Amino acid sequence: MELEFKKEDTKLIVSFKGRLDTTTSIQAEEEITKNLDNEDELIIDFKNLEYISSAGLRLLLKLQKEFASKKGMTIESPNDIVKEIFKVTGFSNILNIKG
């Protein structure tokens, strides 16, 4: 898994590439936390994410809770496989997903 970070004002944009699973979710959480300063909005770009497991879903819940009292968190551009996982798990009803 690869992560790319971009900051715009008080917004952090995180682009994922590869798989977000048990072995990579801990690394992803550490890297995202390390890149957070005073951002009040989180954009997660899943355009190049191939797969997400339950460990990845837990990370998304944790991040969503952290940004709930701020401007929020948005998932952008998930592929059909990730969209289906969100749908089956009910995450499509609790996450802000665009694309």
pLDDT tier, 90 (very low <50, low <70, confident <90, very high otherwise): very high
pLDDT tier, 79 (very low <50, low <70, confident <90, very high otherwise): very high
CA distances from 31 to 13, 24, 72, 80 (A): 12, 11, 19, 26
Q: What is the pLDDT of residues 25-36, one digit of tens each?
A: 999 999 999 999
Q: What is the pLDDT of residues 28-68, one digit of tens each?
A: 999 999 999 889 999 999 999 999 999 999 999 999 999 99
Share of the chain above pLDDT 90, in %: 97
Pair 30, 14: CB distance under 8 Å: no
Does this model's pTM top 0.85? My answer is yes
Share of the chain above pLDDT 70, in %: 100
- Please report the pLDDT score of residue 76 as a whole number: 98
- Please report the pLDDT score of residue 91 as a whole number: 97
Sequence-separated (6 or more) residues with CB below 8 Å from residue 69: none
Query: Over the chain, what is the mean pLDDT?
Result: 96
Domain architecture of the chain: domains with CATH: 2-98 (3.30.750.24)
Q: What is the DSSP string of 56-70?
A: HHHHHHHHHHHHTTT
